[in-house]
Structure 1
């Protein structure tokens, strides 16, 4: 909070000049309007020349100077004087000390001004100190009772608060009342029983028992009104200082007795510890800037005696302050909302919630607290404004995002739109090609930044426009595929042309798999890669190419697209057969190891045979490659037999066996061994190689028959 403007001495707060009305001193106004801290306001009243200024100076910690004191019968203080200092113990609070004009000055012509000063001090203060000499007398009680108009206003409000259920009704904040008795020389005891200072005060304010006369009843009414007007009370009694020709205020501390000094310190410490900041009805803490605005209204109310108008004035003041607080909180909300970009509606809502919470907290810290119903009214007004701002921000976000996303889609969808315009997807396999291109478009769209809140809505709206187009493409593709299947029927398995057309046009009938994956497995160096090259060569009928890197060790699991629906995979070869190698082969067969990634033996240990990755959309056909010159011993025979059974468990298809290099050895014996292992489909053949790839009809026919049998087996399983 802002520091308190330095005041080296008190200034007049309320001028009380003879023949003129009470006025606020402009110099004091300038000081107050620059204090944003809560004010702890201590005012003192009482008969003139009773030592009021001395107590105020002690509270200010002044060693010299301060409030004016004197040693003559002339009253020194006129009006109300103010001294603002940092509070000695309450951080960020300002202690405001008010020394009022003494009561009972015989030189005064206008006695009404005394009542006005006293009433003003009650209105302004957190604590009202009444300072008098000797015992509490009836004259002092009557002076306090004389604050009649304000007293009646308070009593009227108290009555209303009692009658109503309390909802929306705030009690009036009444200052703490302290009676200071100076030069008290009597013993504090009644009927031999010692009394405390506070008990003495309460005893003096008690009703006179058996008050039957009108005069006694009036005295009791005065006591009752004082008790009602000051419900919280405290008393300090100062004994007489040692005799001197100087007043107490002008004596050096060494000339005062220890008891008097100790009582003064006790009085000051009580004020520091117990007096809170000045608050208004509703709990609003009064700062210097608020008191500056209230002072003219207080004076007007005291002058006219109409304190209900004061309540209206405070309502106007609250309205003025709260309108500014609403505007400030709204500006804070707007700044916070503009400071961060959001990409989804949920992010926008989260940002709004955070900014709205911070704006409401700021408002609640700074707003002018008044009546409960008015407080709620201002807070509800702020919430309504913030919701309007939220809707405006959301509309701007939507409009900006819609334009960015629409422009982006128009740009990214050009290849797809062009292909649609040229009917490129109205062919066999067109739906798959369309889906692939659409997915590429979606991926590119999602990778772009800066789309913000309408990104998903705009994308889905565009894809929705493609639904009918995709439906037509799918219907056309299905119809053409069925026609093609009927057209490419194999009547003669010895006709390589029919076999080639059938394989090229083959469509997988399984609804749960997207492609047929021929998994080529086998011993290292037995011709797996050459077999893959040969299949690609015979189906595509193009020039021979060494796709599978023949004559090099296959360490990766690579896939090659044979047709639109068929992929052939060249897996890493094994030798010898052991558990770590077999587990890795099982992982490849089950789709656990992705295509086109390195295969490291021993990574997949202790895998159950039922673990196959069902999420992989491949229908797997296992094909074992074995060279004709190979011969299994008894141990290897049993291991291979078990391996082939396990492969069937994983893929649900009995493995095919291809014996390569049939001219280099006796393939009949090896075929017999595989038959004994339970294998039904065995093919002995010679691979096309890099050194020998001249087209040979019979060679072509063997590979085509193998692929045809694979497809027939797959169709048989799903039919």
Structure 2
């Protein structure tokens, strides 16, 4: 996968699978997650869910400004399996990238496993910074019944390891904005003989009615509790029914004008309003999102309810361990370039201070939610240990160099000592002179380092 010209974002030619769905079991797709990990910029994650054969993939292709990409299919059989992603440069922002996510269609009769659909839906919500639900025709009781997965979210997602009584309200604080897209909409947007907006239509459909049974209100209440930020887009049928199977090959000029207009409004809204995926206020890049997804999926596959707190703790442990290692490696790489022994202690300290600064920068670029400064303190301890090692090596190198120079300049003096030149009359005066000459020669040799003093 090559990087785009003039960009730090790798170029993806087509979507890749990141979560496989095999025999009703969800598991991370290692190849896909490796692709995701290459994206260093913060990622804006727009995920779509909905019943199968409702045009989810086509809508995501338009969001990527492509006719083809996510597989559409043209039969009654569900085409997308698992969860797929396509990461592209953000059309409006240069400091992040857009990750478009298409999920396997819900309610596939061939699958016959509602529990599997529940987890797909939950994962789509958990990974999103903007969540899109796609349905057909209009919002009625049948459409809300199809969205019954939302009533189970507080059962399948925990914020903390120990669930609290007000979990629904807490989920509403951390869940992404909710966008309901309605396809092949044919009704007039009117109420009491007055024109209304698509957003007003959605809010009216979500009104809780006291006179109705619990089942009528439950889904409505959960949507409002879990997703306080809501938006609605309505799309007419893009082409005549007979042309639908050829939809991805048609240009905008061949599509219904109102469909093209609403598609543009939808894409513009996403580009403008969707923000980078965050957890506890910290933005995620591709690698961090990959780690988080693996934590969620492994928890689900083991039969447990995923806890956002435990997943974030796992992510923090992994990322901060990497950050400490990166700081350590950075410090070592820079200090290894220093020629030992250094001229003096001040030169050694200068190299140390610069290396430590860059090591801290390397840590800062990678660290993640180190609230109790556990890993920052660990990094400082490791750098201090490395400093002590390099300082000791500097002293040893200096001592070795000094001894070698001393041995060289004192050869003549040693020879005269052996021959007894200094025990003859006038020998002491000669010894003092020769020693002073040796000291002068020793001090004249450069690069002896911190142990130079006699």
Task: Write the mapping of 1:102-141 to structure 2, written as runs, cut at 5 A.
Answer: 102-106=105-109, 108-138=111-141, 139-140=143-144
Partners of 1:443 and 1:193 in 2: how far apart?
A: 103
Distance 1:421 1:129 in 2: 100
SS of 1:84's partner is strand
> Would the aligned equivalents of 2:16 and 2:85 in 1 still touch at CA under 8 Å?
yes
1:37 and 2:36 correspond: no
Query: What SS class does the counterpart of residue 33 from structure 1 fall into?
Result: helix
- 1:213-612 to 2 correspondences below 5 Å: 215=213, 222-241=219-238, 243-247=240-244, 250=247, 252=250, 253-281=252-280, 283=282, 285-287=284-286, 291=290, 294-295=293-294, 297-298=296-297, 300-301=299-300, 304-308=303-307, 311-312=309-310, 315-341=313-339, 342-367=342-367, 369-370=368-369, 372-373=371-372, 376-406=373-403, 408=405, 444-455=441-452, 458-459=453-454
CA distance in 2, matches of 1:331, 1:421: 58
- Residue 27 (structure 2) pairs with residue 24 (structure 1): yes
Any idea what the Cα deviations from partners look like across 1:605-636, whole Å, max 9, x if unmatched? xxxxxxxxxxxxxxxxxxxxxxxxxxxxxxxx
Q: TM-score, normalised by structure 2?
A: 0.76
**Cα 1:239–1:449, aligned 2, differ >3 Å: closer, same or farther?**
same
3-state DSSP of counterpart to 1:147 = helix
Alignment size in residue pairs: 430
In 2, Cα distance between equivalents of 1:157 and 1:454: 64
Q: How far 1:178 moved relative to its partner?
A: 1.6
Matching residue of 1:142:
148
C-alpha distance in 2, partners of 1:127/1:194? 28
- Go from structure 1 to structure 2 and tell me whether the alpha carbon gap of 1:284 and 1:243 turns closer, same or farther (over 3 Å shift): closer
How far did 1:285 drift?
A: 1.6
Contact persistence 2:12–2:88 (CA under 8 A): no
5+ long unaligned stretches in structure 2: 4-8
Higher RCO (Cα < 8 Å, 6 or more apart): 2
* 8 Å CA contact retained: 1:77, 1:99: no
Equivalent-residue separation in structure 1 for 2:52 and 2:158 (angstroms): 27
- Give the 3-state SS of the residue equivalent to 2:67 in structure 1: coil
The answer (yes or no) to whether the contact 2:291–2:315 under 8 Å persists in 1 is no
SS of residue matched to 1:54: helix
Change (3 A) 1:78 1:283: same
For residue 327 of structure 1, report the CA deviation from its aligned partner: 2.9
Q: Do the aligned partners of 1:134 and 1:181 also contact (CA within 8 Å) in 2?
A: yes
Report if aligned partners of 2:50, 2:135 keep a CA contact under 8 Å in 1: yes
Q: 1:353 to 1:199 in 2, by over 3 A?
A: farther
Residue in 2 aligned with 1:662? none
Instruction: Indicate the residue corresponding to 1:676 in structure 2.
Output: none
Equivalence for 1:716: none
- For the pair 1:98 / 2:101, whether they are aligned, the reply is yes
Superposition TM-score, scaled by structure 1 size: 0.51
**Partner residue of 2:6?**
none
Task: Spell out, residue by residue over 1:393-441, the C-alpha distance to the aligned partner (whole angstroms, 9 max, x if none).
Answer: 11122223234335545765787999998897999xxxxxx8x999877
Q: Is the 8 A contact 1:142 1:222 kept in 2?
A: yes
CA RMSD, Structure 1 to Structure 2 (Å): 4.4
* Aligned equivalent of 1:560: none
Post-superposition offset of 1:191: 5.3
Closer, same or farther in 2 for the Cα pair 1:347/1:7, shift >3 Å? closer
- 1:466 maps to which residue? none
| Secondary structure class of the residue paired with 1:234 | strand
CA distance in 2, matches of 1:12, 1:330: 34
User: 2:447 is paired with a residue of what secondary structure?
Assistant: coil
